[in-house]
C-alpha cells in the first residue's frame, strides 16, 4: 500500500514506472509467443481448437480487434491532421504510429490463421471482386502504404534536424530521412500539406476497410447472428471506441504520460464516453430487434452470448469490466487522468470480449440441426475454447506490437523536441 502511495505521490515516478511495466509485460508476452508460433509453423493447424463448425477462432477475433484499434486510432489522428483539432496535436503522431503498429498486429494474426500462409499473395493474382475479403486486403495495402508515407512526412523534418547528432538516434534519423536534407521553412509547409492530403485520403479508406470488415460478416446470410445491416456501422463505432480508449491509455503512459498530457487524456475520455454510449445504444437496438423478431435462428446466436457457456465473457468481461466500470470512471472520475486512463485500459480490453462475441457465437450454432452429433470428431463440435498455442501466439503478437511501439516511442522524435515547430506553427 505504502509503495503505491509513494508511487502516486511522485507523478514523474509514476510515468517512468508505467513505462517499465509496459516493457516488462511486452517482453514477456513477446517471449511466450515463440511457443505459439513454433507450434503453428511446425504442426500447422493441428494444435488449434477450432474445427469445421466453429471455423474461425481466437486469431480471427484478435484480427478484427487489432484492425479496429488501427482504424479507430487513425480516425482520431485525422481529427488533428484533417479537421485541424488543435487540442490533440500533441498525440497526433502517436496516434498515426499506433495505427501502423496495430495494423501490423492485425495482419500477423490473420496471416497465422490462413491454412496456407505462403499463398497470401494469391489475392493479388487471382482476385475475386465479389468477395468482401478480397476488397479488404486491397484496402489494407493502400492503407499501409498511406500510413508509412504519412509517418515519413510527419517526421521528415525532425529526422533531418536530428541527423546532425553523432548519437545512435542521429544515425538512425539520417537513415530514416532517406537522404532528404531540406531544412527550409517551405519544405516544412510542403510536408504539412502532404500530410493533410494523405490523412484526408485515409479517412474514407479507414471507414471503408473497417466498415468492410463489418460487411465481411454482415453479408454472410448463412449466419443470422452476423447478417445485419447494422454490422458495418457497429464495427466502425466499436473501432472508434477501442481506438480512442487505447489512445487514452497510451497518451497517459508515453511522452511523459499524464503529467504533461493531462488535458488530452481528459478530453479523450470525454470523447470515448460519448462513443461508448452510442455503441451501447446500437448494441441494444440490435439485441431488442432480434429478440422481439423472435426468429429462432436469429435468437440462437444471442442466446449463446447471454446464456451460453461463455456468457461470462459478455456479462463479466465485456459488460462489467469493459463497460460498467469505465462508465462509472468516465462520469464520476472524469477529471483525474489516472482514472480516465484506467477506464481506457478497461474499455480497450472489453472490446476484445465484444470481438470474440461476434466471431464465435455466429459460428457455434448448428446450421443443420443434429449435424454435430452425426459425426464423432473434435473438429465437429460447436464448443470452442482456444488452445494453449492459440493463446500464446496471440499474446506473442500483442508483445511484438508493444515492443515495436516502445522502440518507436523511444527512437522517434518527441513532440517536445520539436517544440519550436509547434510555436512557429501557431503563428502560421
Partner 1 sequence: MAEKIKEIEKETSSISRDEFLSKLIKIGAGTLAATIVSNGMLGTASKLIAKSKNETPVKRKYHYGMVIDTRRCVGCRACVLACKAENKTPPGVSYTVVFEEILENRPNDKPVFMTKPCFHCEYPPCTDVCPVSATYKREQDGIVVVDYDRCIGCRYCMTACPYSARWFDFGENYPAIEQGTDWSNVPSPEYKQFRKREHEQSPIGNVRKCTFCLHLQDEEGKYNKAEGRWPACAKTCTGKAIHFGDFNDPNSEVSILLRERQYIRLKEELGTSPNVYYLI
Which residues of this chain interact with partner 1, rule CB under 8 A?
43-46, 48, 51-53, 55-56, 75, 82-83, 113-116, 119-120, 122-123, 126-135, 137, 203-204, 207-208, 211-212, 215-216, 219-223, 232-233, 236-237, 240, 362-363, 366-371, 373-375, 377-380
User: Whole-number minimum distance, CB 377 to partner 1, in Å?
Assistant: 4
Q: How far is the CB of 208 from partner 1 (least distance, A)?
A: 5
Question: How many Å apart are CA 146 and CA 124, to the nearest integer?
Answer: 18
The three three-digit cell numbers of residue 413, written as one number: 522524435
Q: Please say which residue, 7 or 123, places its beta carbon nearer to partner 1.
A: 123
Cβ closest to partner 1, residue 79 vs residue 253:
79
For the record, the C-alpha cell of 102 comes out as 496495430
200 vs 295: CA distance, rounded Å: 43
With contact defined as beta carbons under 8 Å apart, do 36 and 168 qualify? no
CB of 248 to partner 1, least distance (A): 19
146-150 own/partner pairs: CB under 8 Å, 24+ apart: 146/198, 146/201, 146/202, 146/205, 147/74, 147/96, 147/99, 147/100, 147/103, 147/202, 148/100, 149/194, 149/198, 150/81, 150/96, 150/195, 150/198, 150/199, 150/202
Q: Are 112 and 40 in contact (CB under 8 A)?
A: yes
Asked if 273 and 335 touch (Cβ cutoff 8 Å), the reply is: no
Q: Specify the residue, 208 or 273, whose C-beta has the smaller distance to partner 1.
A: 208
Between 48 and 402, whose beta carbon lies closer to partner 1?
48
Q: How far apart are CA 239 and CA 63, in angstroms?
A: 12
Nearer to partner 1, 26 or 361 (CB): 361
User: Minimum Å distance from CB 229 to partner 1?
Assistant: 9
CB of 237 to partner 1, least distance (A): 8
Q: Report DSSP state, residue 226.
A: T
Q: Compute the Cα dihedral for 158, 164, 170, 174 and give only its sign.
A: positive
Give me the long-range contacts of 370-377 (CB less than 8 A, separation at least 24). Answer: 371/53, 372/53, 377/51
Nearer to partner 1 by Cβ, of 12 and 377: the residue is 377
CB 428 within 8 A of CB 84: no
Q: Which is nearer to partner 1, 46 or 407 (CB)?
A: 46
Shortest Å distance, C-beta 5 to partner 1: 42
CB of 123 to partner 1, least distance (A): 5
Give least dist CB 198 to partner 1, A.
15
Cβ–Cβ < 8 Å for 326, 346: yes
- The residue (of 113 and 390) whose beta carbon lies closer to partner 1 is 113
Q: How far is the CB of 250 from partner 1 (least distance, A)?
A: 22
DSSP state of 135: H
Q: Cβ closer to partner 1: 160 or 356?
A: 356
- Cell 476497410 belongs to residue: 209
Query: Shortest distance, CB of residue 167 to partner 1, whole angstroms?
Result: 42
Distance of CA 361 to the CA centre of its chain: 21
Q: What does R_g of the chain's alpha carbons equal in angstroms?
A: 22
Residue (256 or 366) nearer to partner 1, CB: 366
Amino acid at each position: 500500500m505504502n509503495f503505491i502511495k509513494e508511487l502516486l505521490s511522485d507523478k514523474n515516478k509514476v510515468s517512468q514506472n508505467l513505462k517499465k511495466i509496459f516493457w516488462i509485460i511486452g517482453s514477456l508476452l513477446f517471449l511466450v509467443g515463440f511457443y505459439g508460433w513454433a507450434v503453428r509453423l511446425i504442426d500447422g493447424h493441428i494444435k488449434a481448437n477450432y474445427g469445421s463448425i466453429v471455423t474461425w477462432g481466437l486469431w480471427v477475433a484478435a484480427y478484427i480487434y487489432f484492425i479496429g484499434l488501427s482504424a479507430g486510432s487513425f480516425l482520431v489522428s485525422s481529427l488533428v491532421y484533417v479537421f485541424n483539432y488543435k487540442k490533440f496535436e500533441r498525440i497526433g503522431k502517436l496516434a498515426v504510429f499506433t495505427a501502423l503498429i496495430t495494423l501490423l498486429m492485425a495482419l500477423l494474426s490473420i496471416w497465422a490463421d490462413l491454412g496456407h500462409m505462403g499463398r497470401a499473395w494469391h489475392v493479388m493474382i487471382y482476385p475475386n471482386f465479389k468477395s468482401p475479403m478480397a476488397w479488404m486486403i486491397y484496402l489494407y495495402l493502400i492503407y499501409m502504404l498511406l500510413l508509412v508515407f504519412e509517418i515519413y512526412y510527419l517526421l521528415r523534418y525532425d529526422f533531418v534536424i536530428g541527423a546532425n547528432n553523432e548519437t545512435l538516434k542521429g544515425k538512425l534519423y539520417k537513415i530514416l530521412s532517406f537522404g532528404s536534407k531540406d531544412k527550409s521553412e517551405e519544405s516544412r509547409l510542403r510536408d504539412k500539406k502532404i500530410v493533410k492530403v494523405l490523412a484526408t485520403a485515409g479517412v474514407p479508406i479507414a471507414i471503408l476497410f473497417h466498415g468492410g470488415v463489418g460487411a465481411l460478416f454482415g453479408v454472410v446470410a448463412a449466419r443470422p447472428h452476423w447478417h445485419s445491416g447494422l454490422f458495418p456501422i457497429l464495427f466502425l463505432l466499436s473501432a472508434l471506441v477501442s481506438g480512442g480508449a487505447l489512445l487514452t491509455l497510451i497518451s497517459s503512459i508515453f511522452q511523459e504520460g499524464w503529467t504533461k498530457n493531462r488535458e488530452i487524456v481528459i478530453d479523450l475520455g470525454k470523447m470515448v464516453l460519448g462513443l461508448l454510449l452510442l455503441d451501447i445504444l446500437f448494441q441494444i437496438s440490435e439485441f431488442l430487434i432480434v429478440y422481439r423478431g423472435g426468429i429462432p435462428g436469429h435468437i440462437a446466436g444471442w442466446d449463446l452470448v447471454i446464456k451460453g457457456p461463455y456468457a461470462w465473457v459478455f456479462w463479466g468481461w465485456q459488460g462489467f469490466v469493459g463497460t460498467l466500470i469505465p462508465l462509472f470512471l468516465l462520469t464520476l472520475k472524469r477529471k483525474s487522468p489516472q482514472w480516465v486512463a484506467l477506464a481506457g485500459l478497461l474499455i480497450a480490453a472489453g472490446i476484445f470480449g465484444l470481438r470474440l462475441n461476434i466471431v464465435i457465437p455466429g459460428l457455434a450454432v448448428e446450421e443443420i440441426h443434429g449435424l454435430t452429433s452425426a459425426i464423432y470428431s473434435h473438429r465437429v463440435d460447436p464448443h470452442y475454447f482456444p488452445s494453449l498455442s492459440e493463446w500464446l501466439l496471440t499474446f506473442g503478437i500483442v508483445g511484438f506490437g508493444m515492443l515495436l511501439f516502445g522502440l518507436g516511442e523511444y527512437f522517434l522524435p518527441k513532440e517536445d523536441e520539436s517544440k519550436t515547430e509547434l510555436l512557429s506553427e501557431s503563428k502560421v
